[in-house]
Amino acid sequence: MTEALHSKMDTSDACDLRFGQVGIACVRVRRVDAAALCEELERRVRSAPQLFSRAAVVLDLSHLLDLPDDGTVDALLEAVRSAGMLPVGLAYGTSATEALAQRMGLPLIAKFRAAYEPAEGGSIAPPAPAPAAAPAPAPVREPIHAAPPAGPALGAQHHEGTVRSGQQVYARDRDLVVTGAIANGAEVIADGSIHVYGGLRGRAMAGAQGDEKARIFVSDFRAELVAIAGHYRVFEQIPKDLEGQAVQCWLDGEKLMIARL
Amino acid sequence: MTAEIIVVTSGKGGVGKTTTSASLATGLAMAGKKVAVIDFDVGLRNLDLIMGCERRVVYDFVNVVNGEATIKQALIKDKRHDNLFVLAASQTRDKDALTQEGVEKVLDDLSNDGFDYVVCDSPAGIEKGAHLAMYFADHAVVVVNPEVSSVRDSDRILGLLSSKTRRAERGEGAITQHLLLTRYNPGRVALGEMLSVKDVEEILGISVVGVIPESENVLAASNAGVPVILDDNSHAGQAYRDTVARILGEERPLRFTEVARKGFLQRVFGG
Ligand SMILES: Nc1ncnc2c1ncn2[C@@H]1O[C@H](COP(=O)(O)OP(=O)(O)O)[C@@H](O)[C@H]1O
Ligand SMILES: [Mg+2]
């Protein structure tokens, strides 16, 4: 107890250290080809310099079948740099990615999701197939290599009961059906669509791999955030006409639409 | 016969875990069960105060875990019920003094000694101490106050209970979760200053096992070293009796959740 008091006194003024949400673009590498990567990124920077020039980016290697060796990763990082962007770390992946990041002296950017725990019996969403733009209050950014809109071929994944604060449910390559509520501070993610037959008070992210046709259906809407294919909306205040209503969310071009059912 | 382990937990501090642990343990003892209540709040011991046995603490939980005392030496027999025992927390040791193996051994010993229930009074937080208190539990009483931050923390705890306990890890079936709403003030609920029973049940998706009203008698009882469940005249005490009965399987309607009826004059003259 005295310990707690002391640490409070000692650190109260020196600084404030907290995990915030910052907008960092993610370069999802699909082919190990430094020259092609540089070319593609240069094109991006030219087309939207105010957005991408000197933008902080993380390199996401998790979509490659094998983790490239250190020399190759160096070349990829150099490609990003010479295109005019600033690589600041590697996206969280396996323990091999972690070791690689350590050898390169780069931080692993876990995005916000590594803090979540899988709900009962579920698997945690690997941070790799994160939504194109991490749902942070930052401008929406397209995935740099757009994922092919792979329609989920598998049957839906079911989750019974409530998803609690701090938990995450992830349906890879398929739809997700939740028959309970999703609490504040909980998160559900699907590569396909999401159906929630309960209150949605936390976050729901559909089309996590870029499927823009994915939708979110909720029977009692009170969400903190909804996202489809990386386009998201954060709700500090839930619009009165939507609160507690059955709604669906879909993408109309770039715009995330929400309407009562 | 193995003892049923009940953790009283919440996430947040100051919501009424220790008050509840003392009354729950006493209530179970009054129902004829052999009960031990353990204070897991190393460094912030106060269960012994509320149980009124602070002057009789010789050995504590950490002493037992370290093998410096036997469980028999450390258990303090309650002065009102001879089937009720208190195992105090250590006031001085650091928080890391408890280990998972040590806790398991103590619980096994109590089970072998013929205890029916072991009530574990959890410290606040979701760190090691709280984790140890819940890890071996069969039942959990999640104490929540009618306010948003407390409900949020309880939600987090409910999630941890369903994944971070031995039962969950071994796939032995979910631990029984009882939601106990304490420090409930119907007047402030009516004014919209506090969440209602229904709000809390809706947000957390489970129903309450009891509602303990906010009551001055709780503090008075604590100061006197008498668990409030023994205070027959207080609403809080009666609500704790109902709660223990429900945990033991009895059905009882909720009481003290409405604003007290208006006095005679107000009824006559309206308002
Ligand atoms: N129903 C109640 N009415 C009024 N005060 C209460 C009630 N329950 C608990 N308290 C008071 O709240 C404070 C914290 O209670 P305690 O049981 O020590 O909480 P915790 O163990 O969760 O930290 C104490 O001062 C206690 O007297
Ligand atoms: Mg306490």
The pLDDT of residue B177 is 96
> Please, which pLDDT band fits residue A15 given cuts at 50, 70 and 90?
confident
The response to whether residue B16 sits with its C-beta less than 6 Å from ligand 1 reads yes
Q: Which of A227, A223, A228 is nearest to A246 (CA)?
A: A223
B142 CA → ligand 2 middle, Å: 13
The response to whether residue B90 sits with its C-beta less than 6 Å from ligand 1 reads no
On the question of pLDDT at A127 being above 50, the answer is no
The pLDDT of residue A13 is 63
The verdict on A96 and A183 lying in the same domain is no
205-234 of B, contacting A, C-beta below 8 A: 205
Residues of chain A with pLDDT > 70, as a percent, come to 74
The pLDDT of residue A108 is 80
Q: Return the ligand 1 atom nearest residue B121 CA.
A: 21
* Position A230 in a domain: yes
Distance (Å, rounded) from C-alpha B70 to C-alpha B57? 14
The pLDDT of residue A174 is 94
Residue numbers in B near A1 (CB within 8 A):
43-44
pLDDT in tens, A178-200: 999 999 889 999 999 999 999 99
Burial A145-156, CB ≥16 within 10 A → b, else e:
eebeeeebeeeb
On the question of pLDDT at A128 being above 50, the answer is no
B185 CA → ligand 1 middle, Å: 14
Q: Which of B172, B171, B163, B107 is nearest to B133 (CA)?
A: B107
Distance (Å, rounded) from C-alpha A230 to C-alpha A233? 10
**B199 torsion bin: left (phi>0), alpha (psi -120 to 50), beta (else):** alpha
The verdict on A99 and A171 lying in the same domain is no
195-234 of A, contacting B, C-beta below 8 A: 198-199, 201
Q: Which of A164, A187, A201, A243 to mutate to test the interface with B (most CBs of B within 10 A)?
A: A164
* Position A76 in a domain: yes
The pLDDT of residue B73 is 93
- Say whether residue B44 is in contact with chain A using an 8 A CB cutoff: yes
* Position A117 in a domain: no
Tell me the ligand closest to B14's alpha carbon: 1
Between strands B76-77 and B208-213, the pairing is unpaired
The pLDDT of residue B51 is 97
- Torsion angle (degrees, nearest 10) of CA B12, B16, B18, B22: -150
The verdict on A66 and A179 lying in the same domain is no
Residue numbers in B near A183 (CB within 8 A):
152, 155, 203-204
- Show the tokens assigned to A158: 């079911």
The verdict on A135 and A83 lying in the same domain is no
B19 CA → ligand 1 middle, Å: 6
Neighbouring C-alpha atoms within 13 Å toward the C-beta of B3: 28
Between strands A25-28 and A56-60, the pairing is parallel
The pLDDT of residue A206 is 95
Q: Nearest 5 degrees, angle CA A132-CA A137-CA A141?
A: 30
On the question of pLDDT at A134 being above 80, the answer is no
Residues 6+ apart with CB under 8 A from B243: B24, B27, B180, B209, B210, B212
Tell me the ligand closest to B221's alpha carbon: 1
The verdict on A44 and A103 lying in the same domain is yes
- Say whether residue B128 is in contact with chain A using an 8 A CB cutoff: no
Report how many domains make up chain A.
2
Distance of CA B231 to the CA centre of its chain: 17
At B15, give phi and psi (nearest 5°): -95, -15
User: Which residue, by CA, sits nearest to atom 26 of ligand 1?
Assistant: B219
Find the mean pLDDT for residues A236-246. 92
Of A1, A118, A186, which has the smallest distance from its Cβ to B43's Cβ?
A1
Residues 6+ apart with CB under 8 A from B7: B120, B122, B133, B134, B137, B139, B140, B141
* Position A65 in a domain: yes
- Show the tokens assigned to A81: 């740099």
At B95, give phi and psi (nearest 5°): -65, -20
- Greatest extent of chain B over all pairs of C-alpha atoms, in Å: 69
Q: Quote the pTM value.
A: 0.70
What CATH number did the domain enclosing A54 receive? 3.30.70.260
Residues 6+ apart with CB under 8 A from A108: A89, A90, A91, A92, A97, A98, A101
Residue numbers in B near A3 (CB within 8 A):
94
The verdict on A32 and A103 lying in the same domain is yes
Residue in chain B lying closest to A118 (CA):
B163
Q: Give the Cβ contact number of residue A67 at 10 Å.
A: 17
Contact present, A79 and A34 (Cβ < 8 Å): yes
> Please, which pLDDT band fits residue A133 given cuts at 50, 70 and 90?
very low
Residue owning tokens 């650091």: B94
Contact present, A149 and A210 (Cβ < 8 Å): yes
The pLDDT of residue A47 is 79
Contact present, A95 and A53 (Cβ < 8 Å): no
DSSP state of A150: P
The verdict on A103 and A175 lying in the same domain is no
The pLDDT of residue B262 is 59
- Say whether residue B125 is in contact with chain A using an 8 A CB cutoff: no
Distance (Å, rounded) from C-alpha A204 to C-alpha A244? 16
The verdict on A250 and A166 lying in the same domain is yes
- Greatest extent of chain A over all pairs of C-alpha atoms, in Å: 58
Contact yes or no for B156 and A185 at CB 8 A: yes
- Secondary structure of residue B204 in the 3-state scheme: helix
The response to whether residue B183 sits with its C-beta less than 6 Å from ligand 1 reads yes
Residue owning tokens 């809390």: B200
**What ipTM describes this predicted complex?**
0.70
Residue in chain A lying closest to B206 (CA):
A162
User: Which residue, by CA, sits nearest to atom 7 of ligand 1?
Assistant: B183
CA distance A167 to chain B (A): 7
* Position A11 in a domain: no
The verdict on A135 and A91 lying in the same domain is no
pLDDT in tens, A68-94: 899 999 999 999 999 999 998 888 766
Contact present, A199 and B202 (Cβ < 8 Å): yes
The verdict on A75 and A172 lying in the same domain is no
Distance of CA B32 to the CA centre of its chain: 18
* Position A63 in a domain: yes
B89 CA → ligand 2 middle, Å: 11
The verdict on A100 and A197 lying in the same domain is no
CA distance A117 to chain B (A): 9
* Position A205 in a domain: yes
The pLDDT of residue A177 is 97
The verdict on A93 and A135 lying in the same domain is no
Question: 10-residue block means of pLDDT along chain B (271 residues)?
Answer: 94 94 98 98 91 91 91 95 96 81 96 97 92 97 96 93 91 92 96 95 95 96 96 96 98 92 58 43
Q: Residue A187: beta bridge partners?
A: A168, A203
Query: Which of B17, B18, B19, B188, when mutated, tests ligand 1's pocket best, judged by the most ligand atoms within 8 Å of its CB?
Result: B19
Residues 6+ apart with CB under 8 A from A204: A182, A187, A188, A189, A194, A196, A216, A218, A223, A225, A226, A227
Contact yes or no for B155 and A180 at CB 8 A: no
What CATH number did the domain enclosing A178 receive? 2.160.20.70
Domain extent, residue A51, equals 25-109
- Show the tokens assigned to B95: 């928080």
Residue numbers in A near B163 (CB within 8 A):
117-120, 167
* Position A172 in a domain: yes
> Please, which pLDDT band fits residue A153 given cuts at 50, 70 and 90?
low
Q: Where are the alpha helices (DSSP H) in A68-224?
A: 70-82, 95-104
Residues of chain A with pLDDT > 90, as a percent, come to 40
> Please, which pLDDT band fits residue A156 given cuts at 50, 70 and 90?
very high
